[in-house]
């Protein structure tokens, strides 16, 4: 039984079994004490809490809902951006935050805020060490991207730097999000980016109401997000961030490219491939070595066996290739069983600057090899305009239709039209946006200090 199960069982046991009278008396004492603390808090902070409570009302809840939904959707299939050095996916948290407060912002204003959010998140990750966090079971994106997202919201609404600083500090103070645990029978990982984006907007709304965050939180030796490296890298960091041409973990993007390069037109007959060896940096190989069976789309997203098999069989790896039919496709499973994942010394040495891959495919005719030190979409091998439009079409055509999806992509890529496209096509999918009036920026400002 897992600890979570044990804890749940303990809760139900306590709630249903007889409790000794002495324990009940202690419970009442603690209850009384806590209610007293609540009443005292209401008496001393009631006025200043009113401003924050207003931001949590149904009117302003639209912003948090928009951010949450957009975040959950944006990272559902791991098809967005990632910075390899810090293992950070900023876009799936920064974009939702800007959508939540988009209002009537111009395309230029949104573009600058979006960039500012990325630069803050990536600079924080460089100073704190995103790779350090992920080794300890935390998802760096959930912890650090909200800092950039909160900053982006503040910049987009033209708030003073003091508000932006408090929004960043509050987002850091309430950070969280672990990738520990198995995903075979759990789907909570879908919510991570949604919660992160919602937390970013909540931090901004609180700062915008006059609440102040601990500005030293990233320097305090006690902080789990404490600075590990002096200084900040020079801007701009966004160009160092990779785009993914395929759905699935970044660890496997180069390997997918290699498999597709070795795939003949029309694919290979079933059973022709005797062995498919995927060589990766040692730091990545163990993470994605997940042979069948595949019990959920989440378990398949990070499996080299599934991702490479489905790519070899179907000629692509999209969100539509992780449905139940694909997870139980006999031809895909047959090929997945002959996929082997092994570390390679040269690729290990190049990591984390490069997330390379080498694929060796063996048939009765012999072995062919394809190397990819930079996957398509990496800074050393960026996606072109047409590739970005084609990827957007693949991702959005089921919602909008093929031609409209490509037209929307062109609008998003064209200078001066992105904000209009977001308002017309994206926000209706999420339920709304919110702009806090400038005159209310200091509403509900706190009085007094905090420890």
Q: Is residue 255 part of a domain?
A: yes
Please state whether the peptide bond connecting residue 293 to the residue before it is cis, i.e. omega within 30 degrees of 0: yes
Among the candidates 167, 196, 229, a domain finishes at 229
Same domain, 215 and 262: no
Q: Which residues of 186-202 are buried (b: 16+ CB within 10 A; e: fewer)?
A: eeebbbbbbbbbbbbbb
Same domain, 114 and 28: no
What is the distance between the alpha carbons of residues 355 and 122, in angstroms, rounded to a whole number?
18
What residue ranges of the chain have pLDDT lower than 70? 2-4, 45, 48, 52-60, 432-451
Q: Tokens at residue 208, please?
A: 């915008």
Q: Is residue 448 part of a domain?
A: no
Parallel/antiparallel/unpaired status of strands 357-363 and 339-343: unpaired
Same domain, 284 and 417: no
CATH assignment of the domain containing 282: 3.30.1330.120
Helix H or strand E encompassing 357: strand 357-363
Same domain, 204 and 110: yes
pLDDT value of position 450: 31
Q: Is residue 141 part of a domain?
A: yes
Looking at the structure of the chain, the number of domains it has is 4
Q: Is residue 234 part of a domain?
A: no
Q: Which tens digit of pLDDT belongs to each residue from 96-141?
A: 999 999 999 999 999 999 999 999 999 899 888 888 888 888 899 9
Same domain, 411 and 321: no
Same domain, 321 and 185: no
Same domain, 220 and 111: yes
Q: Is residue 236 part of a domain?
A: no
Same domain, 96 and 197: yes
Parallel/antiparallel/unpaired status of strands 275-280 and 339-343: parallel
Place of tokens 């909540």: 202
CATH assignment of the domain containing 91: 1.10.4100.10
Q: Is residue 34 part of a domain?
A: yes
pLDDT value of position 441: 43
Same domain, 222 and 100: yes
Same domain, 27 and 94: no
Same domain, 187 and 217: yes
pLDDT value of position 4: 62
Terminal CA-to-CA distance of the chain, rounded, Å?
A: 40
What is the distance between the alpha carbons of residues 108 and 417, in angstroms, rounded to a whole number?
9
Helix, coil or strand: residue 280:
strand
Q: Is residue 437 part of a domain?
A: no
pTM, two decimals, is 0.89
Alpha helices in 20-139 (DSSP H): 21-55, 58-74, 91-100, 107-128, 130-135
Q: Is residue 103 part of a domain?
A: yes
Residue 16 lies in domain = 1-44
pLDDT value of position 32: 81
pLDDT value of position 10: 82
Same domain, 315 and 190: no
């Amino acid at each position: 039984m897992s600890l979570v199960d044990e804890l749940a069982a303990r809760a139900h046991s306590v709630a249903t079994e007889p409790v000794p009278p002495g324990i009940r008396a202690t419970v009442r004492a603690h209850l009384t004490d806590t209610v007293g603390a609540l009443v005292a808090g209401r008496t001393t902070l009631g006025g200043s809490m009113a401003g924050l409570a207003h931001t949590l009302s149904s009117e302003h809840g639209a912003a948090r809902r928009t951010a949450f939904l957009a975040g959950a959707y944006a990272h559902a299939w791991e098809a967005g951006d990632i910075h390899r050095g810090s293992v950070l996916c900023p876009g799936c948290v920064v974009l939702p935050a800007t959508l939540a407060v988009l209002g009537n912002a111009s395309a230029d204003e949104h573009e600058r805020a979006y960039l500012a959010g990325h630069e803050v998140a990536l600079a924080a990750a460089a100073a704190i060490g995103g790779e350090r966090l992920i080794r300890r079971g935390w998802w760096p994106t959930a912890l650090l991207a909200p800092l950039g997202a909160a900053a982006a919201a503040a910049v987009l609404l033209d708030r003073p730097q003091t508000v932006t600083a408090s929004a960043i500090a509050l987002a850091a103070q309430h950070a969280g999000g672990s990738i520990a645990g198995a995903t075979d029978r759990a789907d909570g990982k879908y919510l991570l980016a949604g919660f992160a984006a919602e937390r970013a907007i909540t931090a901004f709304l609180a700062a915008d109401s006059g609440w102040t965050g601990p500005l030293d939180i990233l320097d305090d030796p006690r902080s789990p997000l404490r600075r590990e490296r002096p200084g900040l890298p020079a801007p701009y960091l966004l160009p160092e961030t990779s785009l993914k041409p395929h759905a699935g973990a970044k660890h496997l993007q180069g390997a997918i490219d290699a498999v597709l390069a070795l795939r003949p037109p029309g694919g290979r007959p079933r059973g022709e491939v005797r062995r498919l060896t995927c060589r990766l940096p040692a730091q990545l190989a163990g993470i994605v070595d997940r042979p069948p069976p595949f019990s959920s789309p989440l378990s398949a997203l990070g499996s080299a066996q599934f991702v490479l098999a489905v790519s070899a069989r179907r000629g692509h790896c999209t969100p539509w290739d992780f449905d139940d039919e694909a997870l139980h496709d006999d031809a895909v499973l047959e090929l997945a069983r002959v996929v082997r994942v092994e570390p390679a010394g040269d690729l290990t040495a190049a990591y984390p600057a490069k997330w390379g891959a080498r694929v060796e495919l063996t048939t009765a005719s012999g072995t062919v090899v394809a190397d990819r030190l930079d996957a398509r979409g990496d800074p050393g091998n960026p996606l072109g305009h047409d590739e970005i439009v084609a990827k957007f079409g693949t991702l959005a055509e089921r919602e909008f239709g093929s031609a409209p999806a490509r037209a929307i992509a062109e609008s998003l890529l064209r200078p001066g039209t992105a904000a209009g496209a977001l308002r017309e096509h994206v926000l209706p999918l999420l339920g709304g946006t919110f702009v806090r009036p400038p005159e209310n920026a200091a509403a509900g400002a706190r009085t007094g200090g905090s420890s």
